[in-house]
Structure 1
């Protein structure tokens, strides 16, 4: 179990995360939703220990990870893989090497300095790329790939860490709808097949409903909703995204659907403009 106890994070006079309490069981797929600036990314970065809480504690299986230092902290960051919106690959290195970098915290400093990977590690990296349907790019420089391909490389690198938890910070925010679906399908498959806990920040309500068995809504740094997708009513959406009580709030404002629409038969123009498909 991952447990977040009364966690607060301040940046000067600004409180980015406010008194958050959550318990997340192993194997859940959790979507964290909310407006920009709601504290979603800050919360994930505290879980991974990229930044520290100002107050409160974070525990995993009863061990306080918010107090770890040195080798124990590196082991936690190995067990808690992070996937970023901007991929965080090394553009000049080939795809295979980028994936192999996920093994760094499993290896000795000497081997890392010599950049030597075993045959078993290379086979495992190729298998991860094959699973994500991008093995054909293994020898290309990472910087030559499309955004969707780069995000799949980042997921393959995370798999190489053999993590117990995967944190995905807006993994589809910069992707088109088709690539967004491929990435979310990949994360859902990892969650289902390996039983790895996946916690992902999302702007898209439809995506959270479709992929996550638990949704956490944040507003102004605080958790204002925590429950299954079916409990996410229009009133709950208003609490998360704002809006006057009783007023209609279209979920389209959070993003467009990543579902690919079925082809429609041609029909005569009515003289009215048809809505365009917006990008995610």
Structure 2
């Protein structure tokens, strides 16, 4: 169980997240939606401890993660993997090595400094790439890949951490609709197959409805909606986005569901890869 209790974050006189209070059971897939500046990214960064809370506390499994320091903090950031909008790969090195970098918090300092990876770690990385349907690019430099491929590499790297929670900060914001669907389906398959809690920031309502079992809506740093996809009515959208921003809330220009009416017309449509359970991939996952 991940619990946020009266969590607030201030930057000088500005309050980015204001008294947020909710709990997420293990294995749930949650979409956090809201307009730009609603506090979504700040919220995820506090959960991962990239930034600290100003007030309140964050707990996971009975441990107050918002107070961890040193090795215990590094262990939490290993268990709580983060996927970013801009991928955060090393473009000049190959895909396989980028994926293996997800093992750094599992390894000794000396091995990390020498960039020494075991055969088992290489097998894990290849299995993760196979799981996401991109094993054929394993030896290419990461910078040569498309945006959708790079985001799947980032997901594979997160899987290498063997996390308990995956946080995805606007993972499809810079992708075209086809790749957006592939990335979101990959996250959903991992959530369902492995039982990993997934919390993802999203911009539009339709993507959240399509892929998330629970949706949290934020407006001006506060949680103003918390419910299932069927509860996300136009009235709820007005509360989250405001009447003046409803067009953006329902815009599907960069979301997966804009494919629904056009996939059959496209001669180059690609079926999203299915992220199979880890145990079916490679013995090192069992």
TM-score, length-normalised on structure 2?
0.89
- Structure with higher Rg: it is 1
Give deviations 1:117-152, integer Å, cap 9, x for gaps.
Answer: 110110110010011111111111111111000000
State the match for 2:22 in structure 1.
Answer: 22
State whether structure 2 residue 70 is matched by structure 1 residue 70: yes
Cα distance, 1:190–1:263 mapped onto 2, change above 3 Å: closer
In structure 2, how many angstroms separate the alpha carbons of the residues matched to 1:200 and 1:254? 18
Provide the aligned length of Structure 1 versus Structure 2. 261
- Report the counterpart of residue 258 of structure 1 in structure 2: 256
Q: Distance in 2 between matches of 1:137 and 1:69?
A: 37
- Between 1:181-190 and 1:248-257, the stretch displaced more is 248-257
Q: Please name the residue that 1:271 is paired with.
A: none
Q: Distance in 2 between matches of 1:140 and 1:97?
A: 10
**Any gaps of 5 or more consecutive residues in structure 2?**
266-286
Q: Structure 1's 192 and 11: CA in aligned 2 closer, same or farther, altered over 3 A?
A: same
1:164 aligns with 2:164: yes
- Shift >6 Å, 4+ stretches: none
Q: SS at the partner of 2:172?
A: coil
Distance 1:46 1:104 in 2: 21
Higher helix share: 2
Q: Which residue of 2 aligns with 1:268?
A: none
Are the equivalent residues in 2 in contact too, given 1:203–1:255 (CA < 8 A)? Answer: no
1:130 aligns with 2:127: no
Normalised by the size of structure 1, how large is the TM-score?
A: 0.91
2:31, 2:215 within 8 Å by CA — same for their partners in 1? yes
Matches within 5 A, 1:169-248: 169-243=169-243
8 A contact 1:188–1:211 mirrored in 2: yes
CA distance in 2, matches of 1:152, 1:10: 33
Tell me, in whole angstroms, the C-alpha distance in 2 between the residues paired with 1:199 and 1:78: 16
Give 5+ residue unaligned stretches, structure 1: 265-280
